[in-house]
Amino acid sequence: MSDVRTYIQVSWERSKASLVDTDHPSPTFVDTGDSDSLLLRAARPVLTSLSAELADEPVCLILTDSRGVVLSRGGGDRSLIQALDAVYLAPGFCYGESDVGTNGIGTALEVGAPILVNGADHYTGNLRPFSCAGALITHPVTGSLLGVIDITTKAENTNPLLLSFAKLAARRIQERILEEANELDGALLGRYYAACRHSGGPVIAVGEQTFMMNSLAQQHFDANDQAALLDQTRETIGRLKACTLLADLPSGMTARLAYQPAFAGDVLAGGIIQIKEQRVPRVQDPRGPSLPGLAGSSASWRRVSREVLDIATRAEWVVLQGEAGVGKTALATAAHQAADRHRALAVLDASEPGDLVDQAGVHLDAGSDLLLRRAHLLSPDQLDGLTELFQQVHDRSLARDPWVALTAREEQEGQEGQADSRLGLHLLHFFPRTVSVPPLRHHLEDLPALVRLLLNRSGATDLVLSKAALNQLSRLPWSDNVAHLHQTLTSIVRTRRAGVIDVADLPAECRATSRRSLTRLETLERDAIVDALAVHGGDKVAASESLGMSRATIYRKIREFGIVS
Q: How confident is the model at residue 553 (pLDDT cuts 50, 70, 90)?
A: confident
Structure confidence at residue 118 as a pLDDT band (50, 70, 90): very high
Question: Are residues 115 and 11 part of one domain?
Answer: yes
Residue 417 has what pLDDT? 41
Per-residue pLDDT of 363-402, as tens digits, reads 998 889 999 999 988 888 888 899 899 888 887 755 457 8
Among the ranges given (126-130, 168-172, 287-291, 326-330), the one the predictor scored with the smallest mean pLDDT: 287-291
Q: Which of 130-139, 241-250, 347-356 has the highest mean pLDDT?
A: 130-139
Q: Is the pLDDT of residue 254 over 50?
A: yes
Domain assignment present for 27: yes
How deeply is 514 buried, as exposed, middle or buried, from its count of CB atoms within 10 A (0-12, 13-18, 19+)?
middle
Residue 318: is its pLDDT beyond 50?
Answer: yes
pLDDT, position 4: 44
Q: Tell me what pLDDT residue 416 has.
A: 41
* pLDDT band, very low/low/confident/very high, at 557 (cuts 50, 70, 90): confident
Q: What is the pLDDT of residue 127?
A: 94
Mean pLDDT for 433-458 is 89
Final residue belonging to a domain, choices 408, 438, 468 = 438
Under the banding of pLDDT at 50, 70 and 90, the label for residue 518 is: low
Q: What is the pLDDT of residues 73-83, one digit of tens each?
A: 988 788 899 99
The pLDDT of residue 358 is above 50: yes
Q: Higher model confidence: residue 189 or residue 106?
A: 106
Domain identity same for 164 and 36: yes
Claim to verify: residue 431 and residue 461 sit in the same structural domain = no
What is the model's pLDDT at position 284?
Answer: 44
Tell me which H or E stretch contains 543.
helix 540-547
How many C-beta neighbours within 10 Å does residue 35 have?
9
Is 218 or 203 the better-scoring residue by pLDDT?
203
What is the model's pLDDT at position 3?
43
Q: Where are the beta strands (DSSP E) in 89-140?
A: 115-117, 130-138
- Average of pLDDT values for 322-331? 92
Question: Residue 286: inside a domain, yes or no?
Answer: no
Q: Residue 498 has what pLDDT?
A: 87
413: confidence class by pLDDT, cuts 50, 70, 90: very low
- pLDDT grade for 97, boundaries at 50, 70 and 90: very high
Q: Is 290 within a domain?
A: no
Instruction: Tell me the sheet residues that pair with 279.
Output: 254
Q: Does residue 291 sit within a domain?
A: no
The helix/strand/coil state of 501 is: strand
Domain boundary among 382, 408, 438: 438
Asked if residue 385 and residue 335 are part of one domain, the reply reads yes
Tell me the sheet residues that pair with 154. 130
Helical residues (DSSP H) of 284-379, grouped into ranges: 299-313, 328-338, 356-365
**Averaged confidence pLDDT in the chain:** 84
Same domain, 140 and 239: no
For residue 239, is it within any domain? Answer: yes
Burial state string for 160-172 with b = 16 or more CB within 10 A and e = fewer than 16: eebbebbbbbbeb
Residues 268 and 383 in one domain: no
Please give the pLDDT value at position 287. Answer: 47
Residue finishing a domain among 438, 461, 481 = 438
At residue 10's C-alpha, the angle toward residues 142 and 12, to 5°, is 110
Residue 289 lies in a domain: no
454 in the same domain as 427:
no
Q: What is the DSSP string of 375-438?
A: GGG--HHHHHHHHHHHHHHHHH--SSPPPEEEEEE--TT--TTHHHHHH-HHHHTT--EEEEPP
pLDDT in tens, 461-474: 899 999 888 888 88
Confidence category of residue 161, pLDDT binned at 50, 70, 90 = confident
* Domain hosting residue 462, numbered range: 444-561
Are 492 and 517 members of one domain?
Answer: yes
Same domain, 31 and 169: yes
Question: What average pLDDT does this structure show over 214-229?
Answer: 81
Query: pLDDT-derived band of residue 215, with 50, 70 and 90 as boundaries?
Result: confident
Residue 137 lies in a domain: yes
Query: Does residue 209 have a pLDDT over 80?
Result: no
Cβ-contact 503, 468 below 8 angstroms? yes
CA angle (404 as vertex; 401, 406 as ends), nearest 5: 170
Q: CB within 8 A of 325, min separation 6: which ones?
A: 440, 480, 481, 482, 483, 484
Identify the CATH number of the domain in which residue 480 sits: 1.10.8.60
Report the chain's terminal Cα–Cα distance, integer Å: 36
pLDDT digits (tens, 9 = 90+) for 270-299: 899 998 765 544 444 444 456 888 988 887
**Is 285 within the bounds of a domain?**
no
Is there a single domain that holds both residue 431 and residue 449?
no
pLDDT of res. 278:
58
pLDDT at 328: 94
> What is the rounded average pLDDT of the residues 450-470?
90
* % of the chain beyond a pLDDT of 70: 90
CATH code for the domain in which residue 426 is found: 3.40.50.300
Question: What is the number of domains present in the chain?
Answer: 4
Same structural domain, 415 and 473: no
Compute the distance between CA of residue 9 and CA of residue 1 in angstroms, rounded to an integer: 7
Tens digit of each residue's pLDDT (9 = 90 or more) over 483-494: 989 999 998 998
> What does the pLDDT look like over 33-86, one tens digit per residue?
566 688 998 999 999 888 887 777 789 999 999 999 999 998 878 889 999 999
346 and 403 in a common domain = yes
